[in-house]
Amino acid sequence: MTLIVRLKQFLDETGNVARFTGRFFSAGIKPRYESKELLNQCYNIGYLSFPLVGLTSFIMGLVLTMQLRPSLVDYGVESQLPVMVGLAIVREIGPVITALIFAGKIGSSIGAELGSMKVTEQIDAMTVSGIKPFKYLVATRVMATTLMLPLLTILGDGISLFGAYLGVNIRSVTSIDLFFLQVFKSLDFSDVLPAIIKTLFFGFAVGIVGCYKGFNSSKGTQGVGISANSAVVLSSVLIFIIDLLAVQITELLGLN
């Protein structure tokens, strides 16, 4: 019985998120635009996340390289280290790790911020003052996450590769020119573009889920906590699901 109840809840929730997304496309992106608030959100969501994304990307590139080296040495292909690491970072690990960090930092903060605005009636206050909260709060945040995550991913990939370069240099000596030459030679347009396009969807998912959870927060501090928490959980799961779909689509399109 509980399984059926759970399933029903899950389907209800899916339907509600879908409706919320539909509302974003029907109401959220019509003029007039809240361009000042959009810029403000891009700053909060993008610029202020950069240090965290930079740090984690750097460590990831470094560690990945150090972990991969022994296996490559065993096979006698140590010289392929930059190529392997470069591909792994650009195609998969960079986008996904950045998106997960982003979901943790931004998804929860959007969920908590909108959730507390909801329970303290600030969203109602906007409605009463003739401000469309959906446009002012939701549309700006979703657009900002959608635009900023790809940028963060590109920057993060760069920093990761720099970390990888340092990782290579722990045991052997390569010049930075040579390292990046090797990486870029192995990278194709079809490696980079799908990886960046999928981050648009990751960013969109983080924004929509955070806003949805916040907007539907139940009363009280506990409600706000639950919103923040479930925003992170749901958007992280969605990131993996989108990733799975993306790899199927690129394969179908013959881009792999």
* Residues at the contact surface with another protein, assessed by CB under 8 A: 113, 117, 120-122, 124-125, 127-131
Closest approach, Cβ 121 to another protein, in A, equals: 4
Closest approach, Cβ 30 to another protein, in A, equals: 12
Q: Which residues have C-beta within 8 Å of that of residue 132, sequence separation ≥ 6?
A: 27, 126
DSSP state string for 151-174: HHHHHHHHHHHHHHHHHHHHHS--
Residues 98 and 239: their CA atoms lie apart, in Å, by 11
Assigned token pair, 246: 């993306």
Closest approach, Cβ 119 to another protein, in A, equals: 9
Q: Which residues have C-beta within 8 Å of that of residue 168, sequence separation ≥ 6?
A: 65, 81, 82, 85, 174, 179
Residues 96 and 99: their CA atoms lie apart, in Å, by 5
Q: Indicate the residue among 117 and 183 with the shorter CB distance to another protein.
A: 117
Closest approach, Cβ 111 to another protein, in A, equals: 15
Q: Indicate the residue among 122 and 169 with the shorter CB distance to another protein.
A: 122
Backbone dihedral region for residue 220 (phi beyond 0: left; psi -120 to 50: alpha; all else: beta): left
Q: Indicate the residue among 160 and 227 with the shorter CB distance to another protein.
A: 227
Q: Indicate the residue among 31 and 130 with the shorter CB distance to another protein.
A: 130
Closest approach, Cβ 147 to another protein, in A, equals: 21
Residues 227 and 215: their CA atoms lie apart, in Å, by 9
Half-sphere exposure of 152 (CA within 13 A, CB side): 36
Q: Indicate the residue among 113 and 157 with the shorter CB distance to another protein.
A: 113
Q: Indicate the residue among 120 and 248 with the shorter CB distance to another protein.
A: 120
Closest approach, Cβ 114 to another protein, in A, equals: 11
